[in-house]
């Protein structure tokens, strides 16, 4: 199986310090620090960059004096990485820098984070925000399949324990957590307790992608095996309805990401059983259960049982979100926490994780988004060029 993405390697990744608040930074400065860190990790001079993708693409071109240079102001995570890969395989660029960051975006603590509060006219009057939107999807799964709050709590405890053990996580050392600890935290939007939800923090990150020719003499390139993106429309604008679909024979909206996963596995020539580690996006505990089903790791309705018995924990058959994810590692808003799923996958495949390294990991899946936001993006990464 060949695919143009297989000619692209990730050769630099970096996370800045992640914290509840980063003094002296704004989103642009911490994103730039993330990008420069990724270039240093790659051993590539800023002057070699001929493409910048991400939140501050134009500002980065100016700041680093890169003009004339390709710039793609992509505000997402995995879609930004796939756009960077496409720039390389099309021949427009040889070295593409991606960066993102968030700081000073959420200091008004009487409100939930600004990116969680939709202003769309059909939802705003009902006090919806991300936790409530995702709860409407989770509830539907509980109604259809009997998924339990204990199973949701098992996911949250597992991921939060990953962060508890990660010295780089914002909530390092804040655990350990049992499912009962999750269930006894205060209710936010039933069935989600506080500890079922992503936190908010500040931080930046970056990645560097190059063509296979430029990656050839490096010791630890990580290869893009496949990737694709699914959307059912703008997030938080219409009712998040599990069964919504308009195309005959299509997956319903609750299964958003199923198509993206099928396309990704097809590009890679792999199957879910080939995956060693799953760096899944964890905005809310339930979304892990849903993704395990729609990505093909288990059948519909079996995700709740799948997460039990240590299956997704460190040392389990399919470790999930091993750095602590958005619940414990960091959630800086905009795209940083989305790119960090890709970055953690790269660290796992390089074998350089400071905590919860999956020994001998060769294939990683990572994801962004979730059913409550009506989009899910998927990537497969590998330590060997296919």
Partner 1 sequence: MSTLAPQPRGIPVPNPSARSQEYWDAARRGELTFQRCATCGFIGLRAFMVCPKCQGSDSERATSAGLGHLYSWTVVWRPPYPAFVVPYAPCVVELDEGFFMISAVVGCEPEDLVAGMRLSVEFHDASDDIALAYFSPVAGV
Binding site for partner 1 (CB under 8 A): 110-112, 116-117, 119-129, 131-132, 135-137, 139-140, 143, 186-192, 194, 238-242, 244, 246
Q: Work out how close the CB of 240 gets to partner 1 at its nearest, in angstroms, rounded to a whole number.
A: 7
Q: Which tokens hold the place of 216? A: 């050839």
Q: Work out how close the CB of 169 gets to partner 1 at its nearest, in angstroms, rounded to a whole number.
A: 23
Give 204's strand partners.
101
Comparison of 25 and 193: residue with beta carbon closer to partner 1: 193
The Cα–Cα gap between 62 and 173 comes to 40
Name residues whose C-beta falls within 8 Å of residue 342's C-beta, 6 or more positions apart in sequence: 10, 13, 77, 78, 81, 207, 279, 366, 379, 381
DSSP state of 309: T
Task: Answer for the pair 137, 192: CB distance below 8 angstroms, yes or no.
Answer: no
Comparison of 169 and 289: residue with beta carbon closer to partner 1: 289
Q: Is 167 helix (H, G, I), strand (E, B) or coil?
A: coil
Residue 148: closest CA among 179, 186, 123: 179
Q: Work out how close the CB of 287 gets to partner 1 at its nearest, in angstroms, rounded to a whole number.
A: 15
Task: Answer for the pair 348, 318: CB distance below 8 angstroms, yes or no.
Answer: no
Name residues whose C-beta falls within 8 Å of residue 205's C-beta, 6 or more positions apart in sequence: 13, 14, 15, 16, 34, 37, 38, 99, 100, 101, 336, 339, 340, 343
Start-to-end CA distance of the chain, whole Å, equals 8
Q: Work out how close the CB of 258 gets to partner 1 at its nearest, in angstroms, rounded to a whole number.
A: 19
Comparison of 137 and 156: residue with beta carbon closer to partner 1: 137
Burial class (CB in 10 A: 0-12, 13-18, 19+), 379: buried
Q: Using the structure block, give the residue that is written with the tokens 């071109």.
A: 61
Comparison of 131 and 363: residue with beta carbon closer to partner 1: 131
Q: Work out how close the CB of 189 gets to partner 1 at its nearest, in angstroms, rounded to a whole number.
A: 5
Q: Work out how close the CB of 186 gets to partner 1 at its nearest, in angstroms, rounded to a whole number.
A: 7
Comparison of 374 and 379: residue with beta carbon closer to partner 1: 374
Comparison of 46 and 252: residue with beta carbon closer to partner 1: 252
Main-chain dihedrals φ then ψ at residue 378, nearest 5 degrees: -135, 140
Comparison of 121 and 217: residue with beta carbon closer to partner 1: 121
Q: Work out how close the CB of 373 gets to partner 1 at its nearest, in angstroms, rounded to a whole number.
A: 14
Q: Work out how close the CB of 375 gets to partner 1 at its nearest, in angstroms, rounded to a whole number.
A: 17
Q: Work out how close the CB of 272 gets to partner 1 at its nearest, in angstroms, rounded to a whole number.
A: 28
The Cα–Cα gap between 13 and 299 comes to 34
Q: Which tokens hold the place of 159? A: 């991921």
Comparison of 114 and 351: residue with beta carbon closer to partner 1: 114
Q: Is 368 helix (H, G, I), strand (E, B) or coil?
A: strand
Comparison of 31 and 113: residue with beta carbon closer to partner 1: 113
Comparison of 212 and 238: residue with beta carbon closer to partner 1: 238
Q: Work out how close the CB of 290 gets to partner 1 at its nearest, in angstroms, rounded to a whole number.
A: 14
Task: Answer for the pair 355, 194: CB distance below 8 angstroms, yes or no.
Answer: no
Task: Answer for the pair 114, 334: CB distance below 8 angstroms, yes or no.
Answer: no
Query: Crossing angle of helices 27-42/57-64, nearest 10°?
Result: 70
């Amino acid at each position: 199986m060949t695919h143009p993405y297989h000619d692209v390697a990730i050769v630099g990744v970096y996370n800045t310090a992640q914290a509840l608040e980063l003094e002296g930074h704004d989103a642009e400065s911490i994103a730039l620090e993330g990008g420069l860190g990724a270039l240093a990790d790659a051993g590539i001079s800023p002057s070699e960059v001929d493409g910048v993708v991400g939140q501050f693409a134009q500002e980065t071109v100016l700041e680093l004096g890169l003009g004339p240079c390709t710039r793609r102001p992509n505000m997402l995570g995995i879609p930004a990485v796939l756009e960077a890969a496409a720039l390389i395989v099309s021949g427009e660029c040889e070295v593409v820098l991606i960066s993102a960051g968030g700081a000073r975006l959420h200091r008004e603590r009487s409100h939930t984070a600004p990116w969680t509060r939709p202003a769309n006219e059909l939802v705003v009057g009902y006090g919806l925000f991300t936790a409530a939107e995702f709860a409407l999807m989770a509830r539907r799964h509980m109604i259809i399949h009997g998924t339990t709050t204990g199973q949701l709590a098992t996911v949250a405890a597992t991921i939060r324990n990953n962060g508890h053990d990660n010295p780089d996580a914002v909530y390092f050392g804040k655990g350990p957590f049992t499912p009962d600890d999750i269930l006894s935290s205060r209710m936010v939007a039933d069935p989600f307790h506080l500890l079922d939800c992503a936190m908010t923090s500040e931080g930046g990150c970056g990645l560097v992608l190059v063509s296979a020719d430029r990656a050839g003499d490096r010791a630890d390139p990580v290869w893009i095996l496949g990737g694709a993106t699914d959307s059912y429309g703008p997030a938080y604008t219409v009712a998040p309805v599990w069964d919504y679909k308009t195309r005959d024979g299509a997956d319903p909206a609750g299964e958003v990401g199923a198509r993206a996963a099928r396309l990704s596995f097809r590009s890679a020539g792999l199957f879910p059983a080939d995956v060693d580690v799953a760096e899944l996006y964890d905005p809310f505990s339930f979304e892990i259960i849903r993704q395990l089903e729609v990505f093909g790791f288990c059948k519909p309705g079996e995700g709740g049982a799948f997460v039990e018995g240590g299956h997704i924990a460190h040392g389990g058959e399919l470790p999930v979100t091993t750095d602590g994810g958005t619940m414990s590692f960091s959630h800086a808003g905009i795209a940083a926490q989305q790119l960090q799923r890709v970055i953690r996958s790269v660290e796992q495949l390089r074998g350089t994780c400071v905590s919860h390294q999956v020994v001998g990991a060769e294939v990683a899946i990572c994801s962004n988004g979730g059913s409550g936001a009506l989009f899910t993006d998927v990537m497969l990464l590998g330590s060997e060029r296919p």
